[in-house]
Structure 1
Amino acid sequence: MRSAVPRALRRAAGRPLGGPGALPTTLQGSRRIAFTKTRGPNPLFFYSGARLSSSTAVQPDHDPERQWSTPLAKQLAEAISATGPVPLASFMRMCLTADVGGYYTGAIEDGRDQFGLKGDFVTSPEISQAFGELVGIWFVAEWMAQGRQTTGVELIEVGPGRGTLMDDMLRTIQNFPAMANSIDAVYMVEASPKLREAQKALLCGPDATMTESKVGYHSICKYMSVPIVWTDTIKSIPNSADKMPLIVAHEFFDALPIHAFQCVDVPATQSHPPEDGDKSSPSSKTSQPTRQWRELLVSPTPPGSNHESLNTPASQSRDTPPPDFQLTVAKAPTRHALYLPESSPRYRGIKSRVGPGALIEICPDAALYAGDFAARIGGSAKHPKPKPCGAALILDYGPGDGSVPTNSLRGIRRHRRVSPFAEPGLTDLSADVDFAGIAESALKASEGVEVHGPVEQAAFLLSMGIQERAEQLVLAAAAKGKDKDGDDGRYAEDVERAWKRLVDRGPGGMGKVYKALAILPENEGRRRPVGFGGDVDV
C-alpha cells in the first residue's frame, strides 16, 4: 500500500536509535491478544473456565481454612458473601484498580512491571518505535488540516502505560516547530501512582519535580518544556471552547469494565424480587411469557473446586490455581439488566432476532469516555463550542463489522492466557471493544463531530508509511554505526520483524484484530483523515 504521508513528515519522526523504547530483540505476544479467540454462533456461553449456573445464591464457605489465591480474592469473596453476587463490571473494576491488590493500582508483588517481555503483555509502542512516531505524525497531519492553530493545543492520553507512546509522539512533534509551539499542555489520565511515576521519569526525567494541585500532578516535559499534568479521570481536565484537544487512547477501552447479559424466555406468572437487592428496582412480574435480559453475576466457586470440576480449559489451567470465582445467571432482572440492554436499538434487535441464549457485553464507561471526547471536540449543550476542532484517535481490538462483542473477557498473565477469575489482582483483564458503540456514543454526545472507521490497524499503519519509516531506521542505524551488536543485519531483522508484526493480518499478528477509529469535527464527510482513506496536503 502506498503511504499517504509525505516523505518529509515521515523523515521528521526519528527517535534516537537505541533510546527509550528501542526494539526488543525477542518479540513475544502483544498485549492481551497473543492468543486465538474462539468466536461464533454457538449459544453455549463459556467464559474462560467459569461456570454458568441458574442459581444466584452465594454458596457458603464452610471451610474456615479455605485458601484464596490472592488477598484481593479473599476481600472480594467476603464482600460478595455480605452483598450477594456482583456484576461482572464491579468484579473487573476491583481486580484492576482496587487500592489494595489491584492489578494497576495496588500491585502486591514488589518490583512488578505489567508491561514488556518480563511482564504480562507487550504493547505496540514497545514493539516498534515507528508505531508511536506515526501516531504523532497523524496528529500533526490533523493539526495541519484543521488550520494550523497557533495556540491552545492540548495533547491528552488516556491509559498511558509506561509513557512510551507519548514519548514517541512528543519527540516526533518537536520536529514541527509551529505545532510544537502551539501546545499549551500535555494531559495524562492515569490512576496508578506507580505508572504515573514511571511516566514522569520518562517524559520529564527521573529527577524532575512533581507538584500537586486541585487538577492533578504537574511537572515540565523534557520536550519543548511544555507543562505536563496527570489526572485520575478525564473529567478533571478543563473543557474550554477555545482549546484544540488531540486525544489518543491506545489499548485503553479494552480494559474498561463490562457488563454481560444473556437473553432468556421467562415463563408466564413468574415473579421475582430484584436480583441485586435494590428496592428501587421493580420486581419482575409476568402474566404471560416474556423475553428478558438477565445479567451475568460473579460469585465464589464452591469450596474444594478444581480445574476439572470447573471445566477450565487445559490451556488455561497449566501452572495456575483453580479460579476463585465463577459466573451465574441472575434469576431476576438487575437494575443494569433493565436499562443497559435497552439503551440501544443494536441490543434490542439482538433480543428479538436471536432470542434465548443470545449474549452481549456492554461497557458504560466506554460510552462516557467516547461522549467526553466528542464533547471536547465538537461541543455539547453543556459546553458549547462555536468552532469545533481537535481529534481523537482510538487504537484497540474488537469487531470492526458493527457486531456487539460477546464471550470476549480474557485473562492474561506472563504472556499466557489464563482464567479471568483466577488470581485476582495478578491477572490482566480485558474484553473486546465495541467500536460501533463508541461511534454511536460519540455522535449522540455532540452534533459537531463525525466518526471515521474503524479500519484495520494494518491498513492504518501502511497508509501512514510504516514500511518506509522502518527502512529509514535501518539506513540511519547503518550510517551512524548504531547497531548495538555490531551487526547491521541483526538490527535490520529486528526492525523488519517488529513492523511486520504490527501489520500482520494472520492469527499471530496484530494487523487485523486491532482497529483504528477517529473522532473529528463534523465536516459532512468532505475530508477523510490520513490513515482512513485520505491524504495529507502539506
Structure 2
Amino acid sequence: MRATSLSLLRTATRCSQTRVAACPHQLAQCSARWSSSLTSTSSGTERKWSTPLAKMLGEAITTTGPISVAAYMRQCLTAPEGGYYTRQTSTGQDQFGTKGDFVTSPEISQVFGELIGIWLYAEWLAQGKQDKVQIIEVGPGRGTLMDDVLRTISSFKTFAKSIEAVYLIEASPHLQKQQAKLLVGTEELEKSEIGWAAPLKYVPGVKIQWCEDIRFVPKEETSTPFILAHEFFDALPIHVFQNVAQSSIPASSTIITPTGPIKPKHGVTAPKNTWHELVVSPASPYASAGTTVTTSSASDKGHEKPDFELTVSQTPTPHSLYLPKMSDRYKKLEETPDAIIEISPESFAYISDFAVRIGGGNAPSPKARQKPSAEPASFSKAQPSGAALILDYGPADTIPANTFRGIRSHQTVSPFTAPGLVDLSADVDFLALAETALNASPGVEIHGPVEQSFFLSTMGIKERAERLLKGAKDEDTRRRLEAGWKRLVDRGPNGMGKTYKAMAIVPFNKDSKVRRPVGFGGDIMS
C-alpha cells in the first residue's frame, strides 16, 4: 500500500530561495550560473549523484533549465534506462509485495480481485449480456488483479464466451514478462500489430495483448469495453502550481506557448495573484543537514540528501497559463495567495479515452457540460456500452495539494531522493476525472467516488471471506485471510477502506432513471 500524503511540496518550496524564469534565454542564463556548483564540489571533484538516472537528469537540467514536476515524474518512473517501473531490480524481485516498496490490494487478498470480476459480470448482466467484450487494464502491475478477475469470470461461462480480447497497457518489458508468466504460463510472447500477444489460459481461443499506450487498443463501434484502473492514476505525472501574490512579468520576458510567443508589455502585467509553476532543479551540493531526509530504506547510511528541489518559476510557464483555467474549481482559488494545486493532464487524456470508448465522442447533448474535454474525439458509438472501474486513493471532492511523495520500502520518503529507486505518486483528483469524462462523452454517467470500504462491503467481501475461512487448511492461512480482508475495509489510519475510493463510468441512461451499479448503491440486475 502506498503511504498517505505529506506536505513535501510546501516544505521544499519554503526551503528553496532560488527563483527561475520561464523563457529559454533566461533558463539558459540561470543554468550557466548554476553549472559550476551543480556539477562539481568545492574540492573540484565531480558531484556525486545518488543514481545514474539522477546524474542524467541533473546534467540535462543544468544544460536546459528546470523542468516541470510532470517531466521529472515521468522520467523517474518510465525512463528506458533506470526508470522505477522499467528497470529490473538487482535482486530479481519486483517493486510490489512485502519484499518490495508497497503492497497493493490484490496482493493483500485474492477476494479483492474476485469481487472486481463479479462487478464486471454484474455490469455485463445489467447491460443486456453484450457480446464482443474487451477487457482492458491500465497499469496491471505484475498481473495479480487480472489473474483473479479472469479466474472469477471463467466461472461464468456465458460471460467468458463473450470476451474477444484482453488488453494490458504496460510499458515495462520486465513487468510484461511477469504478467505473461502468470496469465499465460510462459514468458514467450509473439509479436502483434500493437505490441505482443499470447493465448490466455483462462478463456480458450482468446488472446491477451500487451501495448504501451491505450491509444493502440482498437476502438470499435460494436465493442463493449470493460476497463480497470487500479492504482494507476496516482502514478501519472502532475503539474504543480502556486498562486503567487502581486505577480509581475518583466518586460524582457518572452513566454513560449503552443500558439506562439507572447511578449508582455512594460510594467506589471498581472496585478493580482497569478499561478506560477513549481519546477524541479538540482539541489545545492552544499545543502545543510536540515534538508536531509530520514528513510527506512535498505541504505547503509539511513540518511539521504535529495538530489533535487522545488523552486517557484519567476514568471508564468505555458502550463500555468492554461491548465488552472480548465475548471471553475481552480478559478475559485485565484484569490487565495500561496494556494497550491496539482493537475494531471495525462489523467485527463486517459479518462477521456475511457469515456469515449464507452459512450462515444458524439456531439454534446444539451445536458452535457459545455466545456472542452482534455482530448476531443470523433469516435461515434450508436449504443453506449461497457464500463470503467477506477480504484485509487485521493480526496473525494477537493483538489489535491502537497501530495507529491516518494515511497520506498513501505515508507514515505522525499520524491527527490534516489531517482529511479523510489516510487512516485500523488493523490488522485476524482472530481476532475469525473468532470473530464462527462465533458468527453455525452453517452456516459459517473457514479462515486465512494470509499473502498463501502464498495467492497456492498460487493460482499465479508461473506466471501467467511467462505474462504471455512475452507482454510490451517490456522496460519486463516489468520492471513482474516487480516487481509479486514485491512481492505478498515477505515482507520492503518487501513485502506477510507483513503482508497472507487468510481465508475457507465453508459448514460436515456430513460432519465438512475441505475446505480452494484457497489455504488445498486443491486445486481439480469
CA distance in 2: counterparts of 1:525 and 1:313, whole angstroms: 54
Deviation digits for residues 468-517 of structure 1 (CA, Å, limit 9, x no counterpart): 0000101123xxxxx3xxx3x33222111100100000011100000000
Equivalence for 1:421: 416
Contact 1:265–1:290 at 8 Å: present in 2 too? yes
Q: Is 1:470 matched with 2:452?
A: no
Deviation digits for residues 108-127 of structure 1 (CA, Å, limit 9, x no counterpart): 63524100111101000000
Deviation digits for residues 400-459 of structure 1 (CA, Å, limit 9, x no counterpart): 1x2110000110111111110000000000000000010011001000000000000000
Q: In structure 2, the residue corresponding to 1:90 is in which secondary structure?
A: helix
Q: Is 1:515 matched with 2:501?
A: yes
Equivalence for 2:51: 70
Amino acid of the structure 1 residue aligned with 2:518: V
Contact 1:274–1:334 at 8 Å: present in 2 too? no
Structure 1 residues 287 and 426, CA gap change in structure 2 (3 angstroms): closer
Contact 1:306–1:322 at 8 Å: present in 2 too? no
Q: Is 1:199 matched with 2:195?
A: no
Q: Is 1:392 matched with 2:392?
A: no
Q: In structure 1, the residue corresponding to 2:118 is in which secondary structure?
A: helix
Equivalence for 2:74: 93
CA distance in 1: counterparts of 2:257 and 2:445, whole angstroms: 41
CA distance in 1: counterparts of 2:126 and 2:257, whole angstroms: 53
2:491 is aligned, of 489, 495, 505, to 505
TM-superposed CA distance for 1:50, in Å, is 8.4
CA distance in 2: counterparts of 1:499 and 1:84, whole angstroms: 48
Equivalence for 1:376: 357
CA distance in 2: counterparts of 1:494 and 1:299, whole angstroms: 45
Which piece of structure 1 moves more, 362-371 or 318-327? 318-327
TM-score where L is the length of structure 2: 0.88
1:534 is aligned, of 505, 522, 525, to 522
Contact 2:249–2:315 at 8 Å: present in 1 too? no
CA distance in 1: counterparts of 2:325 and 2:200, whole angstroms: 45
CA distance in 2: counterparts of 1:452 and 1:219, whole angstroms: 34
Which piece of structure 1 moves more, 102-111 or 226-235? 102-111
Q: Is 1:53 matched with 2:17?
A: yes
Q: In structure 2, the residue corresponding to 1:385 is in which secondary structure?
A: coil
Q: In structure 2, the residue corresponding to 1:299 is in which secondary structure?
A: strand
CA distance in 1: counterparts of 2:481 and 2:380, whole angstroms: 46
CA distance in 2: counterparts of 1:87 and 1:282, whole angstroms: 20
Amino acid of the structure 1 residue aligned with 2:525: D
> What are the within-5 Å matches in structure 2 for residues 201-350 of structure 1?
201-206=181-186, 209-225=188-204, 226-266=206-246, 270-271=250-251, 273-274=253-254, 280-285=260-265, 286-287=268-269, 289-308=271-290, 310=291, 312=293, 319-350=302-333
Structure 1 residues 495 and 44, CA gap change in structure 2 (3 angstroms): closer
Equivalence for 1:122: 103
Contact 2:296–2:302 at 8 Å: present in 1 too? no
CA distance in 2: counterparts of 1:107 and 1:186, whole angstroms: 25
Q: Percent sequence identity over matched residues?
A: 52
Equivalence for 1:441: 436
CA distance in 1: counterparts of 2:6 and 2:466, whole angstroms: 36
Aligned length: 487
Contact 1:272–1:332 at 8 Å: present in 2 too? no
Q: In structure 1, the residue corresponding to 2:332 is in which secondary structure?
A: helix
Equivalence for 2:398: 403
Structure 1 residues 106 and 230, CA gap change in structure 2 (3 angstroms): same
CA distance in 2: counterparts of 1:204 and 1:443, whole angstroms: 36
Equivalence for 2:372: none
Structure 1 residues 493 and 293, CA gap change in structure 2 (3 angstroms): same
TM-superposed CA distance for 1:311, in Å, is 6.1
Q: In structure 2, the residue corresponding to 1:219 is in which secondary structure?
A: strand
CA distance in 1: counterparts of 2:103 and 2:408, whole angstroms: 11
> What are the within-5 Å matches in structure 2 for residues 120-159 of structure 1?
120-149=101-130, 151-159=131-139
Q: In structure 1, the residue corresponding to 2:137 is in which secondary structure?
A: strand
Structure 1 residues 514 and 233, CA gap change in structure 2 (3 angstroms): same
CA distance in 2: counterparts of 1:194 and 1:531, whole angstroms: 34
CA distance in 1: counterparts of 2:203 and 2:272, whole angstroms: 62
Structure 1 residues 266 and 389, CA gap change in structure 2 (3 angstroms): same
Amino acid of the structure 1 residue aligned with 2:184: C
CA distance in 1: counterparts of 2:74 and 2:135, whole angstroms: 26
CA distance in 1: counterparts of 2:393 and 2:456, whole angstroms: 15
Contact 1:296–1:327 at 8 Å: present in 2 too? yes
Q: In structure 2, the residue corresponding to 1:125 is in which secondary structure?
A: helix
TM-superposed CA distance for 1:213, in Å, is 2.2
Structure 1 residues 468 and 278, CA gap change in structure 2 (3 angstroms): closer
TM-superposed CA distance for 1:224, in Å, is 1.2
Q: In structure 1, the residue corresponding to 2:117 is in which secondary structure?
A: helix
Contact 2:255–2:261 at 8 Å: present in 1 too? no
Structure 1 residues 505 and 83, CA gap change in structure 2 (3 angstroms): same
TM-superposed CA distance for 1:349, in Å, is 1.1
Amino acid of the structure 1 residue aligned with 2:434: A
Deviation digits for residues 212-256 of structure 1 (CA, Å, limit 9, x no counterpart): 122110100100122100010000000001000000000000000
TM-score where L is the length of structure 1: 0.86
The alignment yields a C-alpha RMSD, in angstroms, of 2.2
TM-superposed CA distance for 1:365, in Å, is 0.5
Q: In structure 2, the residue corresponding to 1:393 is in which secondary structure?
A: strand
Q: In structure 1, the residue corresponding to 2:228 is in which secondary structure?
A: strand
CA distance in 2: counterparts of 1:66 and 1:304, whole angstroms: 11
Gap runs ≥5 in structure 2:
21-29, 363-377
CA distance in 2: counterparts of 1:507 and 1:147, whole angstroms: 41
Which piece of structure 1 moves more, 299-308 or 445-454? 299-308
